[in-house]
Amino acid sequence: MPTEATAVALETPVIKRQRRVRAVPKVHAVSRHREDCRWFGSYKRIGCDCPKDLLYYRAGKLHRDSAQTCDGEVAEKKARDMMASFEAAAKGEPTAPPTAKESFLIADLVNAFVAKKTADSVKRATVRQWKFELTNFADWLQRRGLINIGDVKPDDVQTWRDGLEGAAAGRRKRVLFVEAFFNYCVRYDKIEKTPAIHEDLKIKRSTTQEPKALDNVQFSKLLATLPALNGKTTDDDRAKMRSLAILMRMSGLALKDAVLCEREVFEQMPNGKFRMYLRRAKTGKAVNNYLSAAAMSAVLEGANKSGKYLFIDSMPTKENEIKNAVEYFGGRFSKLADLADIRDENGEKIKAGTHSFGRHSFVAMCLNSDMPVHDIATLIGDTATVVEQHYSTWIASRAARLEQRMMKVLDAQPTTW
C-alpha cells in the first residue's frame, strides 16, 4: 500500500525541460546531391561536387539558401561568415565600419519598413507590392552572403540593378523601391550612407512610345461594358466612372486631375460651350481646354449633384489618402478594360487604360484634325516636346496623310508652262 509521501510523489507533474530558442541561428553547409551522386540522400556529406546550400532556422522557420558553390570548403566558410553576421547583429556590433554605424539584419529592416508603410495608411495593395519587391531584394542579397545592412556596398546594388529584367517602367519602379528602403535606413540611423546611388541606378525612360488610342466604336464598347462590372462596384460608382471616362476622353485630363476636379473649373461661354482651366496635379502646368454642351451634360450626369468636387466628397488631407481615392477608380477602370476585351485591327488586345481612352484618344482626335502640336500641348497642360516624343508615331502618320493630299494637289497642276 503506497504511503502518503509516495502518493504525493506520484501526483507531482513531470516538468519537461523547455528548449531555448537560439539567439544566433546556427548555419550548416549541406549538399543538394544529384541523383547519380554516391552520397545521394545524405545531405550532410559535402565532399562531393554537388551544389551546396546554407541551412538554418530563424524565428521558427527553416531557411535554405544557395551557397552558389559546389565546393564544400567554400560553403563551410560562407556558413561561418553568415553566423558571424548573425552574431554581430545580435550584439549590435558593426560588421562594415566604413559604411554602417551599427549592424542590423536586412530582413528585419524590410519588415520594419513595411510595417511603417502599413501604419501610414498606405493602400494594402501597395504595401503588398513593397513587401514583395523588397523581400525579393533581401533574398537576392542573402544569396550573395549579405545578411547585415552594413555589409551592402554600392557595387552590390549596382549588380542587382544590372540583372533586372522586364520593361523599363517596371525595372525603374523596383529601383525606386530599393532607393526608398535605403533612405529609410539612413533616416532612422541604421546606416550612415545609402549604397543606392540614384545617378548610378537610374534607368532612362524611352524617348518614344507607341500609345494606343480608342476610336469611337471601341470607346462605346468600353462604356457598354460598365453594367458587367460587379463585385464591390456600386451603381453610383458606375455612373461616376462613365462621367469620368467621358471627361478624360473629351479633355485629355489624366485620371488624378479628373478625380480631383472641382466644379468651379468649368465656366459656361455665351455660345453654350464650356471653358475649363486648372493646373495639373503632377506638374503644376496650366490646362486650358474646352468642352461641348453635350459632353458637359454627360459629365454632370454621373457626378455629385452638389458640392465643391465632382467625384469626391472632400479633398483628403494626406497624400496617401489622395492616392487611394484615385486608385479606387483606377483599379476599377483596369477591370473594366479586361471585361471589355477591346482589340485592334490585327486582333491584338488593347490595354485600354485610362490614358488610352482618355489622354491618348484626345491627342489622336486633335492630331487627326490637323491641330498644331503646340496648341495640343496647351490644351492638355504639357510641353510640345513631350507631345512630340510620346506621340511621334501619330505625328508621322499625319505627315503621311498630308503628303498624300499634297500629291493630289500636285497631280492636278499643269505639267507644261
In a domain, 311, yes or no: yes
- Cell numbers at 169, concatenated: 517602367
Spell out the residues 6+ positions from residue 393 whose beta carbon is closer than 8 angstroms to its own.
208, 210
Same domain as 259, residue 373: yes
In a domain, 356, yes or no: yes
Same domain as 305, residue 174: no
Q: What is the number of structural domains in the chain? A: 3
Final residue before a domain boundary, out of 69, 91, 113: 91
Same domain as 201, residue 107: yes
Same domain as 201, residue 224: no
Structural domain of 34: 23-91
Place of cell 544566433: 24
Q: Which of 5-19, 375-389, 399-413 has the lowest mean pLDDT?
A: 5-19
Same domain as 393, residue 250: yes
Q: Is residue 358 within 8 Å of 245, Cβ to Cβ?
A: yes
Q: Is the dihedral of CA 140, 143, 149, 151 positive or negative?
A: negative
Residues in the chain: 417
Q: What percentage of the chain has pLDDT greater than the value 90?
A: 30
| DSSP assignment of 236-280 | HHHHHHHHHHHHHHHH---HHHHHT-BGGGEEE-TTS-EEEEEE-
Distance CA 380, CA 363 (A): 8
How much is the pLDDT for 123? 78
How much is the pLDDT for 275? 93
Residue 376 has pLDDT above 80, yes or no: yes
Final residue before a domain boundary, out of 155, 180, 205: 205
In a domain, 211, yes or no: no
Same domain as 237, residue 161: no
Q: What is the DSSP letter of 356?
A: I
- Cell numbers at 19, concatenated: 528548449
In a domain, 353, yes or no: yes
Same domain as 177, residue 105: yes
Q: Residue 119 belongs to a domain with what CATH number?
A: 1.10.150.130
Range from 193-202, 216-225, 364-373 that averages highest in pLDDT: 216-225
Distance CA 215, CA 9 (A): 89
- The better pLDDT of the pair 113, 209 is held by 113
How much is the pLDDT for 279? 92
Same domain as 262, residue 168: no
How much is the pLDDT for 20? 58
85-134 residue pLDDT tens: 778 777 766 544 443 344 688 988 999 999 998 888 777 878 888 899 99
Beta-carbon neighbour count of residue 90 at 10 Å? 14
- Mean pLDDT within 250-258: 93
Residue 378 DSSP SS3: helix
Residue 397 has pLDDT above 70, yes or no: no
Place of cell 496617401: 320
Residue 51 DSSP SS3: coil
In a domain, 14, yes or no: no
Residue 328 has pLDDT above 60, yes or no: yes
Q: Over the chain, what is the mean pLDDT?
A: 83
How much is the pLDDT for 119? 87
How much is the pLDDT for 34? 84
In a domain, 9, yes or no: no
Q: Residue 347 belongs to a domain with what CATH number?
A: 1.10.443.10
| DSSP assignment of 19-43 | PPPPSSPPPEEEE---TTSTTTT-T
In a domain, 5, yes or no: no
Model pTM score? 0.56
- The better pLDDT of the pair 353, 160 is held by 160
In a domain, 352, yes or no: yes
Same domain as 280, residue 167: no
Same domain as 317, residue 228: yes
